[in-house]
Structure 1
Amino acid sequence: MKTNAKKSSEAGFSLAKSKFYNEFLAEREEILKHKWIESEKAGHDIGFERALLDWVVNHRDKWRAARKVAK
């Protein structure tokens, strides 16, 4: 594992600079917020998978469109 990390850093690759990784982190944060809100409404933890599916079906497209406009 350490050799792969070393090779990546030698090639100048930085996960922190990756557009795709940063988009993944932003999307994950939105899903976690959604999980918290929906869990509060339900009165119990709804779980990540349920929150993920609900967010993707009901909110992802609008969220992505809003991010695209903001950039």
Structure 2
Amino acid sequence: MSEHHSGPVETGAKMDYSEHEKTYDSFINATKYGTAILVALMIAMAAGFFTAAGFFGGLIAFIVLSVVGVIMLR
């Protein structure tokens, strides 16, 4: 059945909040920049496959969109 605790609920080691916040910020940054790169890749692939731009046009579009996206996210 249910147990009634009168002590603290957390019985493990103390949490290192500064390290936790650094890890969280790194995860958010990786997600943000990774999404920007993937969006640039999808647009460049569409430009390369469905227009007359070809492979090199798509590659140039990817590079330009990646640089613009990273600059805008800073």
Structure showing greater relative contact order (alpha-carbon pairs closer than 8 Å, 6 or more residues apart) = 2
TM-score normalised to structure 2 length: 0.45
Normalising to structure 1: TM-score of the pair?
Answer: 0.47
Q: Which has the larger radius of gyration?
A: 2
